[in-house]
Structure 1
Amino acid sequence: MAQAEIAVNRGLGLSELAPRMVQSEIRAMSVESDLVGGVNLAQGVCDTEVPPVVAEAAIAAIREGHNIYTRLDGIPRLRRAISDKVERTLGLVADPEREVLVTSGATGAFHAVAMALLNPGDEVLLFEPFYGYHVGTLKSLRVSPVIVPLEGRDWRLDLAQVRAAITPRTRAVVVNTPSNPAGKVFTRAELEGLAGIAHEFDLFVFTDEIYEHFLYGDAVHVSPATIEGMRERTIVMSGFSKTFSVTGWRIGYIIADAKWIGAIGYFHDLLYVCAPSPFQHGVAAGLEQLGHGFYAKLALEHEEKRAMLVDALRAAGMTPHVPDGAYYILADARGLPGATAAQKARALLAKTGVAAVAGSAFFRAGKGEDLLRFCFAKKDEDLREACRRLTK
């Protein structure tokens, strides 16, 4: 074949996948909020104060020379601290040498897990409303997300719908509890039902528990890994971005059976090499020195923030779905101008200077168009200003 013909056949262009992917609506609204100097309740940046012990330990680590690569699974101190923490808070026993992997955030954890345990063409069940990055990550790896809707205003899980969605290609189920964007906290009974299905069809359960300490009222966090018989098939993913208000640090972790950790660690190393070294030291100090009182206070403070935003949304005529966990609220936006949720979000930003995310970012096409998502993990003065604008 002539060289010219080879060049024509190759061409310059995007991959087959790239044209089907679009910028996250969350990121887009954050950019638009910045352009108008708005109050950003769109992105879950969690800009509350970093615990001093965490910040000071990271600074000290930089000054002490902890600025080079760590082991691909993270520094021993942090892996031990994570192991101690999950045993103390979840009753989950994990060997820090063989079953704990420090990752570049929970997002990096999910990507590495999907690369290690899924094949192109596999199907993975997710619950709607879903977190868009879970869907986007699966699609980027040519894995098919299969959406199972949660029911009603309290987002109930219908196990019959889960069963109906399973095919011979189904490989795993993703559980995000507490969830983004709905604040859904899966009950023990729901998780036991899912566990039975996972055993019956021999499925993995990938569980994103990044909001585990943001619980309100009588809500209780249960990790699927603690359900009887689920330890081997559950991959627990979490992190410290939200708990310690360090979303830019990218420190997460995985708890999994040792038989899976090696392959997951390989792909995490390939993608990220390691999580940032000095920040690992900072987070380790937080885990070692901040006890139950810190987490209880964190939940109480955010419950007060939740109440503030719920009241403001109601006053603005945007009926909220009051969440049991996490720090987001989905609110009814039917009273706002615009044919789509994206248009409604931009109309709200133009009128009030408050940025929210289109509910459609968390649903299949054609759904979520009458909802907006608001984040209340903000400094009190910023949240009060956003609430004042909404109420006015």
Structure 2
Amino acid sequence: MSKTLASHPHTTSRLALSELAPGALQSEIRAMSTECDRIGGINLAQGICDTPVPGVVETAAIAAILAGHNIYTRLDGIGRLRVAIADKQLRDYGLRYDPEREVMVASGATAGLHAAAMALLNPGDEVLVFEPFYGYLVSTLKSMRVKPVFVALAEPDWVLDTDALRAAITDRTRAIIVNTPANPSGKVFTRAELEAIADAAREHDLFVFTDEIYEYFVYDGAKHICLATLEGMRERTIVMSGFSKTFSVTGWRLGYVTADAKWMGAMGYFHDLTYVCAPSALQHGAAAGLEQLPPEFYTQVAADHQLKRERIVAALRDAGLEPSVPAGAYYVLARASRLPGETSAQRARHLLAETGVASVAGSAFFRPGRGEDLLRFCFAKKDADLDEACARLRKL
């Protein structure tokens, strides 16, 4: 009879978690959303974006289901949507992408990042990430055994320190991730900052992954600049965006990637391997939105959310939680040092218990030891819910 592992008490069992799994915890955003649901609170933690879906998008998706568009699509999406995305990139940024070879519809922008990282990065590579950061960007890198290297932006306006950027580059650096407009800070990178990033990328022959999911959420005359438009950057820039925020369809999981054809084949392979394809019928809804919604729709999105921003900023100030006013996206970071607790997670839970308003601990967006006096609030909410949340915050 063969001996088993159990007969050798000092032998390590093969029935064990992976090396990655012990450090993989539920995100603080999801944890706060769960706790908020449990007590029936108002969720300003998760970027759910529960504002109305544009009618043309909704109608086209329903029609597509009824018309039988319920089977697999091409791994990179339906032709109609790929063409619409290419047309959008040309209209908005003057960037020409071949819809047959340089556009991929993804199961959310996060799936686009996952596919790009699988295709272009190797274990042990380093990727520069600006801090504060969106946790999924960092977690995706770590899940592939790629090392995120943090470059802190300078408070209170989250300004890029070019010297810090260059000092972080090593011989293992493979790429830079730029999220603009940014979650959680609302920072919109300026042209000068993007030029500095582009200079570093060209000099050190680096990829740049740009997360532009909040591209239309810009305020006070700020302008979103697609980094791929800068000189010499189209070939090395992987542009990621999607429809979750703009069309208020976060649950549809529809994003896209535009990139040079030499990289797209491998990205498509890994997206197919993990997701097969993005939801078929819903792609028709997004295509209809891109094709039919007028330019005024996008400017109205920004105007509506700027008004929401003003309301949450005023309420936070009244509550003694001093906000950093965002130039873009739909989040506010606010100082929470006046709240009880040693950590931002404790302060967020105290705020939820006292007011029924859920926020996210600032530590979720920083390396350990930083962000402990900050909370993040999402203001992409229906007006009635946002107003109630503001009223509750003012009771502090």
TM-score by length of 1: 0.99
Map 1:87-106 to 2 at 5 A: 87-106=90-109
Q: Which amino acid aligns with 2:296?
A: G
CA distance in 2, matches of 1:17, 1:228: 39
In structure 2, distance between residues paired with 1:140 and 1:83: 30
Rounded to whole Å, the distance in 2 between the matches of 1:133 and 1:76 is: 29
**Cα-to-partner distance string for 1:191-243 (whole Å, 9 max, x where unaligned):** 11111100111100000000000000021000110001100000000000000
CA deviation vs aligned residue, 1:260-301 (integer Å, no higher than 9, x gap):
000000000001000000000000000000021000000000
Separation of aligned partners in 2, 1:92 and 1:18:
40
Corresponding residue number in structure 2 for 1:114? 117
Aligned equivalent of 1:345, options 343, 348, 352: 348
Q: 2:222 aligns with which of 219, 224, 233?
A: 219
Q: Please name the residue that 2:373 is paired with.
A: 370
Alignment RMSD = 1.1
TM superposition shift of 1:6 = 8.8
The unaligned stretches of length 5 or more in structure 1 are none
Partner of 1:292: 295
Within the alignment, does 1:357 sit opposite 2:360 as a pair?
yes
Residue correspondences, number: 392
- The one-letter code matched in structure 2 to 1:384 is D
SS at match of 2:250: coil
Aligned with 1:248: secondary structure?
A: helix
CA distance in structure 2 between the aligned counterparts of 1:46 and 1:5, rounded to whole angstroms = 51
Q: Describe the SS at the equivalent of 2:391.
A: helix
> Cα offset for 1:5?
3.6
Q: Alignment partner of 1:325: what SS?
A: coil
1:4 matched to 2:7? The reply is: no
Structure 1 residue 391 displacement after superposition: 0.8
- Separation of aligned partners in 1, 2:13 and 2:156: 51
Task: Provide the secondary structure at the position in 2 that maps to 1:189.
Answer: helix
Residue number among 139, 144, 148 corresponding to 1:136 in the alignment: 139
Q: Does 1:243 align with 2:243?
A: no
Q: Which residue of 1 aligns with 2:165?
A: 162
1:203 equivalent to 2:202? Answer no
Amino acid in the other structure paired with 2:242: G
**2:155 counterpart residue number:** 152
1:379 to partner: Cα distance:
0.3
Following superposition of structure 1 onto structure 2, how do residues 64-75 of structure 1 map, counting pairs within 5 Å? 64-75=67-78
Q: Does the residue aligned with 1:44 lie in a helix, a strand or coil?
A: coil
Determine helix, strand or coil for the equivalent of 1:23.
coil
Cross-structure match for 2:183: 180
Residue 30 of structure 1, aligned match among 20, 29, 33? 33
Q: Distance in 1 between matches of 2:225 and 2:335?
A: 29
Shift of 1:77: 0.2
Counting aligned pairs with the same residue, the percent is 69
The alignment partner of 2:337 has SS state of: coil
1:333 aligns with 2:354: no
Which residue of the partner structure matches residue 389 of structure 2? 386
Q: Look up the SS of the partner of 2:70 in the other structure.
A: coil
Q: Say which of 39, 46, 50 aligns to 1:47.
A: 50
How far, CA to CA, are the matches of 1:91 and 1:201 in structure 2?
26
- Give the deviation of 1:9 after TM superposition: 4.6
* 1:3 Cα deviation from its structure 2 partner: 4.4
Unpaired runs of 5+ residues, structure 2, are: none
1:59: which partner in 2? 62
Runs of 4+ deviating beyond 2 Å: 5-11
- For the residues of structure 1 that align with 2:71 and 2:278, how far apart are their CA atoms? 11
Note the C-alpha offset of 1:152.
2.0
TM-score normalized by structure 2? 0.98
User: C-alpha distance in 2, partners of 1:100/1:290?
Assistant: 21
The one-letter amino acid of 2:172's match is: R
Letter in 2 for 1:369: E
Letter in 2 for 1:112: A
